[in-house]
Structure 1
């Protein structure tokens, strides 16, 4: 079975090289690496070109956003499985091998695994001590998604057939596009499997994220409106009946997005007072659970992330990448 890695990049000249080396140095290297440059202006394509025939570079003349850039890469992918990867993250040496092994052993469509938010600088890997998604989510993935579970696409090796079946990424969003992709895949009821072996290091640098831009709040509200409206419109009737309380939560999120934009949009699935009550109750219960978790476990990470303290095996995986793990004080 073959693997295609797709990386969308925009102005990451100083980071894309390390990301590519992380993937090309895998114990089971990818069969195809596609980098889609989303109209960078900082010399990013020139860095990618130094990798020669090991990497296929697609240069977009105009910026299409994360969804459009990834779809451009997906259109050129030939592997049976696709790994979308962020242009600033790095992965443990067994990242692809572990996932492919579990996928094939279970004839599955998606394999996901652990990830860790990190700050990488001067050979140090600073972290908060807790690996996310170290264990599989307990229950039906679609139901858990509707209840707030987040499945990060970059932690997944995914069947290309499934990705094409749902039409790839939505291209009308700049944030939250991965959540809509996950929802559409889960609506197809794919077979999900989990492996705890590999580790994705998810680099944190909020100064360059859209949430800190001047128009970030408006952008997020618009995308939240698109996301929640699409989920409410596309969810199957059978799932909607089973997940009425969870859907109330999504209707409440939708109403908040409309309110944030001071929009005149007429919502088809207008929330009732009961929906609003259930949504606010859901938020209150979540805050209480996080507070209890902070007291009992020493952290406020949501249970859906299945957090586990970073152990020696994960620490060794970080050292193999040339970084010394360091707990943030």
Structure 2
């Protein structure tokens, strides 16, 4: 009787284990892509990780025999979960203290080498995406960044392919109206950012005014936890003294890093990340300066985050 019980158990368990291994293998293979999709939709690594957990829980219940393309299926689940999370985030942002900025990620050089990916996850672009509706953002990200087909996008967002085409047309127009004109090379970005850092190091307001665009916008995100400007600060004459104040921490404390695939500056105090300064650059000057100080958003700055398309 024991032999029969063991045999029956093995016969039932082996297919179950095989299915679990197959599901795990597919999920792990696409995990970095799924995280990138969720992060670009949410601007929050913590929420993106939660979305991946929810995606996994739904994925393990799927009959893999009915799945023709595991990548497309997983992207669809992730998109739906991210859309639901976006609506929760919208309510959370309504009570957020001060300006809200995306959660910065320390990224490897390979992200910067993919110019389209780096642009899509840059702090400046993520802020542009904040102006879209949740569905517009999902459609734009899936189509423009990940080249997902209209049919697959339609299934993911619960719209018809014709409706998706209309949504992407509208989203492209809204993004084009807000994103920087032209492209900025990594070399130019490095040069402008280094000029800014040197100007801060010397405390020379004249040099800072030369690096900052006249209508530069400074946004500081402290989340009500760390000290930060409660409102946007506009204009080089107002931003330059604020930037010059960083001199008191010393040049060694403000170091270059790749943040969201783009050159940025990281301020470390007593070995801990205190502030991430991400610039927006156009025509050889800093047009936007985004300072993330909320400690709840800095946890991923001590290790590289892998992003994939």
Structure showing the higher helix proportion among its residues: 2
Question: Common fold, TM-score beyond 0.5?
Answer: no
Max Rg structure? 2
* Superposition TM-score tier, normalisation by shorter sequence: under 0.3
